[in-house]
Chain A
Amino acid sequence: MLFFRSEELIREWCRARAVEPRPIVRMDQLWQLAVTWYGARLEPVSRRPAANEMREIFARLGLHDAFWDPQADTFQ
């Protein structure tokens, strides 16, 4: 899970490793993921989102691709 300066640099990085580019996430989307995952992490009740919750979280941010499905078998 890495930062990149541009889409072109992501494509270059993927080409150099002979891998397909994956869905790209903007900083504002990443912040929402960070808050959802970790906003309560220092509190007693915190826990990692369950699979169905993860799907809802990603969908709310427009991340609908099977890549984001925690139970997808597409990438087996």
Chain B
Amino acid sequence: MGFDTAVKLTIYTFTAESGRIPSIQAVAQRVQTSTDEVAQAYARLRASRLLFLEPDGTTIRMAPPFSGVPTQHRVVVDGIEYFANCAWDALGIPAALHRPGTVRSRCEQSHEPLNLSVGLTGPEPSTWLFHCLVPAAKWWDDLVFT
């Protein structure tokens, strides 16, 4: 397994276990290397659009579908609460973990709460909808806005 893959798996395993994206120090400790080496791997993973970093280059804002900061899209799986980057990623968390869960979010216009049960084969029947303002070609131009 390559170094970048080991870093990526460490990030995702830590997040899956804890519900929180790890610090660069925690990643470096787990892969037994320096934070400088990990930061270089972060930059390469960012170039592959597998991570989205804060301007410091060492803090992970997004390890999609997981968010490094609290959001309105919360997902509970096996008693662990995760933050998702967006509505798409909210369903992406049970899909990534291959575990049933509950998506808690809201209608962006009415603020009606959404509590959506998601099983191994998908969400319960629901008439809720997904809307994205930004076209696919622009998603990574401003990923936080997207």
Binding site for B on A (CB under 8 A): 1-7, 9-10, 12-14, 16, 19, 21-22, 24-31, 33-35, 37-39, 41-42, 44, 47-48, 54, 58, 66-75
Contacts and interface: CB of A to CB of B under 8 A. Distances in A.
Interface residues of B, number: 52
B135 A67 contact: yes
Given A39-B95, A48-B50, A27 B110 contact: no
B87 A24 contact: no
Interface string B116-146: 1010001100111111111111110000001
B122 A28 contact: yes
Interface of B: 1, 5, 9, 12-13, 16, 48-50, 64-65, 85-98, 105-110, 112, 114, 116, 118, 122-123, 126-139, 146
Contacts of B48: 47-48
B1 A10 contact: no
